[in-house]
Amino acid sequence: MEQTTTTTVTTEIVAKRPTFLTVLCILSFIGVAFALIGGIMNYFTYSALATSGDMFGGLKTEAGQDMNNAMNSMANALGMDYGKMATVAMIQAVLNIPIFIGVMMMWKQKKAGFWIYSIFEIAQPILPLVMGLGLVGGIMATVGLIFSIVFIILYGVNLKHMS
């Protein structure tokens, strides 16, 4: 008796990821890592400043105290609230998690990743404005939005390669 078995091999054809999309994703992975680490570091820095109340509290000389007073006056004039800045830094650090997920999905050429990435990438720089950080928040938002919009446009060019 002879037994014949047949096996069916299913192959899923996965389109090759374009080099441009690969480079964008790698840059985004690096950016997310730096933003996460930077956000956590900023949180602790701003928390310490909020607690101590001044930037150069350890300077004991008269010139050092003058510098300390000038820097604190400038920070107050710019509307820098270290407590709010610490909160913004931590929230921005946490927002890097869905951004990372979006980049991972785009790495796998999933269109949904673009939308996840875009939403959270725009939310990050707008956060300082929402939290009322004044001029400092406006500057942070402007610089952040420029980079966010450029990357969203560059990823948008690659949407045709995603499913």
Q: What is the structure's pLDDT at 118?
A: 96
Report whether pLDDT(5) > 80. no
HEC-encoded secondary structure of the chain = CCCCCCCCCCCCCCCCCCHHHHHHHHHHHHHHHHHHHHHHHHHHHHHHHHHHCCCCCCCCCHHHHHHHHHHHHHHHHCCCCHHHHHHHHHHHHHHHHHHHHHHHHHHCCCHHHHHHHHHHHHHHHHHHHHCCCHHHHHHHHHHHHHHHHHHHHHHHHCHHHCC
C-beta of residue 148 within 8 angstroms of C-beta of residue 122: yes
pLDDT in tens, 52-71: 765 555 556 666 667 667 77
pLDDT in tens, 125-137: 888 888 877 777 7
